[in-house]
A and B are shown apart, each in its own frame.
Chain A
Amino acid sequence: MRHGLRPNFQHRLIPLAGLVAAVAFFLTTGLLAQQPKPNEYQVKATYLYNFGRFVKWPGTVPVSKGDSFPVCVLGRDPFGPILDSTLAGETLDDKPVALRRISKPQEAGECRILFISSTEEKRLKEILVALDESGVLTVSDMPGFTRRGGMIQFVLEGDKVRFEINLASAESARLVLSSELLKVAASVKRNSGSGD
């Protein structure tokens, strides 16, 4: 009992110190908020990774060689090194994320998440057909992407990066998107082509 006195006293001090730390924390974060906003692609790179956390891939999806989780960028890469740094060391579906930059749609079959650059707008149909039912989550920021059969499309609402989901496309590829993801989406298309 005696020996307990001093630890008790310290326990009482810790919350106080925590309180002070919290005030300091909020003050500094408030200041940090005035810092230049992260650039658009930095946010998009983070989202790209986060999408992977709310999606369930079908078990039959052929596993690419190695035990990695391939995230691919098809076409001209708008992220640059930001995407590399964002994904570096991350895991998805218990596998280390591997970033690949590809140029041929044939290569996309081995990807789990495929960001299609707007440079590929012209051959989008060809790409999407090739990927049909191959269990690849397609993401792009080209306008009308979901309308044309893409799964997730980045949209900008003012400064804010948001996204639209074409749930029918995802379901046809046997991907299960978490309701949490759907909840925060700017819009969700339930039937293919019906949105148009």
Chain B
Amino acid sequence: MPLRQRNSISRKLTWMNMLVSGAALLLACAAFIAHDTLAFRASMVRNLSTQAQIIGSNSVSALLFNDPQSAENTLSALKAAHNILSARIYSADGKLFASYSRDPGGYLPTIPSLPPGELEIHRFQNKEVVLVRSVVFGGKPTGIVSIRSDLQELDSNLKRYVGIAGIVLSVSLVAALLISSIFRRAVAEPIIRLAEVARAVSREKNYSVRAPRAGGNGELVVLIDAFNEMLGQIQQNEKALREARDDLEERVAERTAELEQANKEVEAFSFSILRAKDELERASKFKDQFLSTMSHELRTPLNAVMGFSELLTEERYGTLNERQQRYVKHINTGGKHLLTLINDILDLSKIEAGRLQLTFENVSVSTSFAEVVDTMRPLAEKKSQALLQHAPPDLSVRADSTRFKQVLMNLIGNAIKFTPERGEIRLSAHSLGGSVRLEVRDTGPGIPIEEQQHIFEAFYRLGETSKKIEGTGLGLAITRRLVELHGGNLGLESQLGSGSCFYFILPGAEAVKPRNVQESGGEIRDHEFARILVIEDDRAAAQLLQSHLTSAGYDVVLCDQPGRALEMAAELQPSAVTMDIVMGPVNGWDLLSSFKTDPRTTGIPVVLVTIIDQPSTGASLGADEYIVKPVNKATLLAAVQRCMNQRKTIGQPRPILVVEDDAPTREFISELLSKHGYLPATAADGAEARASVAASVPELVILDLILPKVSGFQLLAEWRTHTRTADLPIFVLTSKDLTLEEQDYIRTHAALLLQKQRPWQETLVAQLRRALPGVLSEKS
């Protein structure tokens, strides 16, 4: 039992008692002493006053009869009073009359004078008291008595009082101490015991102990009882808690075991999932590989089939009889169909596999329409169908440009297919708030409602009976998926007998400036590409020519005022000129002769494009080429190309290296190059190509990517890192399905990327012309 702690409350109680009683006693004693001192002083003054009166009345006669001796006798009676220091008598006129001093020669202070009307005053000063009293006799002031007294009696009184107070205080405090010890037993002891119990409980966590009950029934007892009751409750709660905890621990252990079991199962399961995932990934990879291989392996032979059959129809290597012509055409048509089918199947499987990557950009609708219509017009013209398009010039959509055009072409191709001859196909677009609605409407037979819901299914073919309509049955399925990938929905409105309308809605985009179409007398731009001046006063004809030439990479300047044509040509110095004959007001023949006679323009090749079929006249007037309208794009471009080639420059010709492992394709490309006046060289694999380039740098390389020994990618990388070949133009021509990353890589490192999935020959030729404007082979 720690004594100090135990004593703290009782000590506090004792201190409290002592302080209270001590303070009370001190106050009381101080009050008594103050009161007694004041009373004593008052009595002192009274005594002095009496003495002064006695002296005064005993000195009256002495004063009146001027007998100081008698007065001094009276004063000398004060010797008996030890407290009187001195006394004096003054006559009525203020003269000192008689005096007494206990201590002769001692200090005699100044005696205060009586204020008029006052009988007596007194003053305590310097440990003494002075009393001055007037002597009155028979109602008249006769003299003044002053008495000084010391305060020794007062001091000794005070000392005695303080002594008594001290004694009383000590005795009282002792008594208080005794009383407080009794209180302590009654109050502090039970509290101390309570505190001990509380300490023991908190230290030992033993809730079974109880505080001993004190006697009586005061608050203390209530406190102890409440404490004990609380302890009881705590004891119960603790017991319940301990039981709950034990239970909980048991359950936690159970659950932990269960969880561990479950974890094991999950682990095993996830392991199997991982394995399944690996397998799936491998399968998916196989599928991708298969698709990629298929696209390459199927297209390569097809390209040969189509390319050579096309070459045959051109009859450059001997004329074909009509039957041969027909057979070759069948081969070509069949090849084209097969290529389309393969492309469609691969496209669809790519879309279904979610592997089609779209590059979204802001696409100008009118530009896309122009390009699509340009491409599709020959097909429509074959069936004498009108292919019309309308789009506000500032309308744009958020789309992948290539795929957007593919969708439009598919729909138009479909429409052309199902619309009878002389029908009309209308391509239109209009804004719907933030979106753009695009429509392809035809005047075909319409689609029965029961077929409308199946029409977008793969391999579903409309009107199985109409066998003459060719197609893969995949076009609409692909188109629909493509539209969906763009966030749109392909819809159909149709009624039997009143045509069909396919429509879809795409999100709109900020307007993209439509491709600039140069008007007559337009600005003359510094251009590295071959520039063609088109002299044609018919606006529609001029635009057609322009679109053909532009698509081949030429820079076209239109001139619809024949009168100004010569000056423009002289100024522009174009690479070639196309010229109509039937124009007003200037006759084309005249214009042609002035061109050929003007020294500024005589060197410029002229292609006559006219409805008049008089090639001999043209030739006699100096025309370089003669084309009869309607203009065929290929014919036009070939003629223009021949004109360009005429303007050959003299120099050491370097070959164009064709790197292609497939022999027929290699030969076809070589033939194509020769046809357009270029000097081809070939390499059948990567190693050969590497050696060839190392031996002498060619003018340009047409590079396949999938090659034996060294891949096209590797060659590309190598050539780009060598300074000797850093600027070597490289055209990549491949049937490989490229990822977006691969496409990006090739676009950065090669001058051109051509994919065999789509018609590429024309683009290749056009880009060659653009890249090598002055390079021509000797034999053309």
Contact = CB atoms under 8 A, between A and B. Distances in A.
A184 B113 contact: no
Contacts of B114: 18
Interface in A146-196: 160-163, 178, 180-181, 183-184
Interface string A3-35: 000000000001100110111011001001100
B95 A181 contact: no
A184 B110 contact: no
Given A18-B112, A18-B113, A29-B95, 20 more contacts: A14-B115, A15-B112, A15-B121, A19-B113, A22-B110, A23-B110, A25-B94, A25-B113, A29-B94, A47-B65, A53-B64, A53-B137, A162-B65, A163-B65, A178-B61, A180-B60, A181-B65, A183-B61, A184-B61, A184-B62
B232 to A, nearest CB: 62
Contacts of A183: 61-62, 67, 70
Interface string A45-76: 00100100110000000000000000000000
Contact of B123 (A15, A47, A162): A15
A180 B94 contact: no
Interface string B107-125: 0001111110000010100
Contacts of B65: 47, 50, 162-163, 181, 184
Contacts of A32: 93
Nearest to B95: A29
Interface string B240-281: 000000000000000000000000000000000000000000
A53 B62 contact: no
B239 to A, nearest CB: 70
B105 interface: no
Contacts of B170: none
Interface residues of B, number: 23
A29 B97 CA distance: 12
B67 A22 contact: no
Contacts of B60: 180
Given A14-B115, A15-B112, A25-B94, A184 B67 contact: yes
B216 interface: no
B86 to A, nearest CB: 16
Contact of B112 (A19, A29, A162): A19
B94 A53 contact: no
B64 A22 contact: no
18 contacts: A14-B115, A15-B123, A18-B113, A18-B115, A19-B110, A21-B113, A22-B111, A22-B113, A23-B110, A25-B113, A32-B93, A50-B64, A53-B64, A54-B61, A180-B60, A181-B61, A184-B64, A184-B70
B66 interface: yes
B651 interface: no
Which 4 A-B residue pairs are closest in the complex by CB-CB distance?
A: A22-B113, A180-B61, A184-B67, A184-B65
B61, B110, B121, B138 pick with most chain A CB within 10 angstroms: B61
Nearest to A160: B66
A160 B66 CA distance: 9
A101 B472 CA distance: 187
Contacts of B94: 25-26, 29
Given A19-B110, A23-B110, A180-B61, A29 B70 contact: no
Contacts of A33: 95
Contacts of B113: 18-19, 21-22, 25
Contacts of A178: 61
Interface string B38-64: 000000000000000000001011101
A191 to B, nearest CB: 23
A27 B483 CA distance: 139
B575 to A, nearest CB: 122
A53 B94 CA distance: 22
Contacts of B121: 15
Nearest to B58: A180
A54 B67 CA distance: 15
Given A29-B93, A29-B94, A184-B67, A22 B112 contact: yes
Contacts of A43: 66
Contacts of B112: 15, 18-19, 22
A162 B64 CA distance: 11
Contacts of A53: 64, 137-138
Interface string B127-146: 00000000001100000000
Contacts of B61: 54, 178, 180-181, 183-184
A145 B62 CA distance: 23
Interface string A78-113: 000000000000000000000000000000000000
Nearest to B69: A184
Contacts of A18: 112-115
Contacts of B67: 183-184
Nearest to A15: B112
Nearest to A17: B115
A162 to B, nearest CB: 8
A173 to B, nearest CB: 21
B147 to A, nearest CB: 16
A47 B65 CA distance: 7
Nearest to A52: B138
A39 to B, nearest CB: 14
A54 B138 CA distance: 10
A50 B140 CA distance: 12
Contacts of A47: 65
Interface in B684-703: none
